[in-house]
Amino acid sequence: MATNFAKELMVPPGKKVRLGKYDPDETLGWQKGRKMKVSLEKALTKLGSLQYLLSANKKRALLVVLQALDAGGKDGTIRHVMSGVNPQGCRVTSFKKPSEQELQHDFLWRVHGAIPPSGDIGIFNRSHYEDVLIVRVHNLVPKHVWSRRYDQINQFEAMLHENKVKILKFFLHISKDEQKKRFLERIHDPKRAWKISESDFAERAYWDDYTAAYEDALTRCNTGEALWYIIPSNKKWFRNLAVSHIIAEALEQMHMKFPAPPIDLKKLKWQ
For the stretch 141-191, pLDDT in tens is 999 999 999 999 999 999 999 999 999 999 999 999 999 999 999 998 888
d(CA 271, CA 254): 40
Cα 76 to the center of its chain, rounded Å: 12
CA-to-CA separations, 49 to 56, 114, 243, in angstroms, rounded: 11, 24, 16
∠ Cα 248 252 253 (to 5°)? 120
Residue 125 backbone phi and psi in degrees, to 5: -95, 100
Residue 182's pLDDT is 94
d(CA 129, CA 30): 30
Do residues 108 and 130 make contact, with C-beta atoms less than 8 angstroms apart?
A: no
Cα 4 to the center of its chain, rounded Å: 18
What pTM was computed for the model? 0.96
CA-to-CA separations, 22 to 25, 29, 227, 262, in angstroms, rounded: 9, 15, 17, 51
Q: In what order do the strands lie in the sheet with 228-232?
A: 90-94, 121-125, 61-68, 165-173, 228-232
CATH class, domain 9-256, is alpha beta
Query: Residues of the chain with pLDDT > 90: what percent?
Result: 88
Q: Which is it for the CA torsion 226, 227, 231, 237, positive or negative?
A: negative
Residue 51, CB-side half-sphere exposure with 13 Å CA sphere: 23
**Alpha helices for the chain (secondary structure H):** 5-9, 34-57, 74-81, 100-103, 109-112, 134-137, 143-146, 149-162, 176-187, 198-203, 207-220, 236-252
Q: pLDDT, tens digit, for every residue of 42-75?
A: 999 999 999 999 999 999 999 999 999 999 999 9
205, 206, 208, 211: CA torsion to nearest 10: -140
Q: Which is it for the CA torsion 91, 96, 101, 106, positive or negative?
A: positive
Q: pLDDT, tens digit, for every residue of 179-228?
A: 999 999 999 888 888 877 888 888 999 999 999 999 999 999 999 999 99
